[in-house]
Chain A
Amino acid sequence: MLLEGRKISKRFGGVQALSEVDFHVEEGSITGLIGPNGAGKTTLFSIVAGALKPTSGRTFFEGREITGLPADQICRRGIARTFQIVRPFASMSCLENVLVAAVNRHPERPRAALEAAARDLLGQVGLADFADQEARHLNVIQKKRLELARALATEPRLLLLDEVLGGLNTQEIQEAVEDIRALRDRRGITILWIEHVMGAIMQAADRVIVLDQGRVLTAAPPREVVSDPRVIQAYLGE
């Protein structure tokens, strides 16, 4: 078990965003995280990544507790994330965006080597031609790819993907799913993936965690999840 959360709760003022969420992610898996809007998916991500502190509960990564560690330390432990609403470093070039991640992973390496690796990563996400352009000039889909390259440059063992397929057409979704699978198969990166495009999750995930109103509804292989009446009810209502 690579990542584990025990009884995680998060309250924002009067809103109970998460209530005693227990979950885990197996090493080498692609784990989907789904649920209706407002179920607490992104909140859970932010807690795992250290951007938010849980009101109560604990998180463990590789068997060591990471609850409440600052985001930069969690990144160094090997957890990287993309953001639901993209957050590139807008006034920096695409290359520099990726370099920031790379120099903090390997501060000892010479800049030229890091730059070469960063260019390579940009190529892998299809942004080779944009390396020297400022990130603000990219469209949303390109920005999402840039975020992926930036996350990969931190050399994560666990990658948290937050709705990376939004805005893609069917053909592009298919390609993206293949790319994400390749991350796991070729690089051995474990993936925890929030997605609204249900078909993609059902196709790629080994296991799916379903959140509803801040609680875990079920966690099972995709085939069982889609036929679970509680899940159908959560999505469609009574």
Chain B
Amino acid sequence: MTTSVKWIWPAVLVGMCLLPLGVGIYPQHVLIVSLFYVMMAASWNLLAGYTGQVSFGHAAMAGIGAYTSGILAAKAGLNPWIGIAAGTLFAALLGLGLGALCLKMGGIYLSLTTLAFSQILHIIIVNEYEVTRGTMGLQVPGLIPEYSKLAYYYILLAATVLVLFILYRMIHSNLGLNFRAVQNDETAARAVGVRVLHLRVLAFTAASAMAGFAGGLYGHYLLLVTPEIPSLDLQFYVLAMTVIGGMGSFVGPILGAFAINILAEKIRDYGEYHVLVFGLVALATARFAPEGLIGVWRSLRRRPAR
């Protein structure tokens, strides 16, 4: 690691700690939601960016986390923190099962199966009104006795740092080396002993757990868990953030999550058209800057050096 990188992360962290101070409640809310999306995009990137598995079930996993914890807290009076742990574990188990089931099929089948999983989950949640309160949404208790945006911000920030730290360690270990080998050439990777299937199931389980964790925290922040968390809208949001930020890079999805979420707030006035704008931005990115924002930044930085 170069020295310039060594101080960048602590500096960013200090900046992130100071960021919500002195701003109003609304910007604080936008930042908290952005942190949720950072966790979602960064963990989805582990799948799509590092192991080439385009899952459409990532938002569904966040939904699993949110509803598991929410139902346990609202119906059984369980402490939300324990609920979040349970939701994370449940998402991991579902990820493991779904992974073992469909990763052997690979490619488009994974996308289709996770899409079906996500739709099935959505239908169950909407229809099981007694348990989930359907589209009305389930009221859940908060994580802290006294509601404070600032406190939630720091909780989400700590969680995001934890998720990013785990992802960073994974990517920079033997595991990450194997991921990259598979991304480069699956046949050659197998030929040198990489256990491709193991690797994919592991990544899928880990990413699902992270989505479940993020979803659980998010639900207890919103105090209302609705089917909008495990929705395809949210899924495509996460996808757009990762693609626009830069798939397969560590920083890309983090930038993408902040950029897109803040942009979304800015263009909210255009109503439904903001979805159209994201579609166009994502298309333009895929066409003109396939490595996303981070790729653009890298090439800009490289040019003056020559």
B196 touches A72 (CB 8 A): yes
Given A100-B181, A103-B177, A111-B174, answer yes or no on A75-B188 (Cβ-Cβ < 8 Å). Answer: no
Residues of chain B lying within 8 A (CB to CB) of residue A153: 192
**Is B285 an interface residue when CB atoms closer than 8 A count as contact?**
no
Nearest-neighbor residue (CB-CB) of B174 within chain A: A103
CB distance from B100 to the nearest CB of A (A): 15
Given A92-B180, A107-B174, A111-B174, answer yes or no on A101-B193 (Cβ-Cβ < 8 Å). Answer: yes
Residues of chain B lying within 8 A (CB to CB) of residue A151: 192
B184 touches A91 (CB 8 A): yes
Given A51-B187, A83-B188, answer yes or no on A91-B180 (Cβ-Cβ < 8 Å). Answer: yes
Number of A-B contacts (CB under 8 A): 71
B180 touches A89 (CB 8 A): yes
Distance, CA A103 to CA B192, complexed state (A)? 10
A100 touches B192 (CB 8 A): yes
B190 touches A154 (CB 8 A): no
Residues of chain A lying within 8 A (CB to CB) of residue B192: 75, 80, 100-101, 104, 150-151, 153-154
Nearest-neighbor residue (CB-CB) of A101 within chain B: B192
Residues of chain A lying within 8 A (CB to CB) of residue B30: none
Residues of chain B lying within 8 A (CB to CB) of residue A70: 190
- 8 Å CB contact of A104 from B180, B185, B188, B193: B193
A: number of interface residues (CB 8 Å): 30
B-contact 0/1 string along A197-233, CB 8 Å cutoff: 0000000000000000000000000000000000000
B: number of interface residues (CB 8 Å): 17
B185, B187, B191 interface centre (most CB from chain A within 10 Å): B191
Residues of chain B lying within 8 A (CB to CB) of residue A76: 193
**Is B195 an interface residue when CB atoms closer than 8 A count as contact?**
yes
**Is B189 an interface residue when CB atoms closer than 8 A count as contact?**
yes
CB distance from B268 to the nearest CB of A (A): 39
Residues of chain B lying within 8 A (CB to CB) of residue A80: 191-192
A90 touches B184 (CB 8 A): yes
Given A87-B185, A89-B185, answer yes or no on A51-B193 (Cβ-Cβ < 8 Å). Answer: no
Top-9 shortest CB links A-B: A104-B193, A89-B184, A71-B190, A101-B192, A75-B193, A87-B188, A103-B174, A100-B181, A72-B190
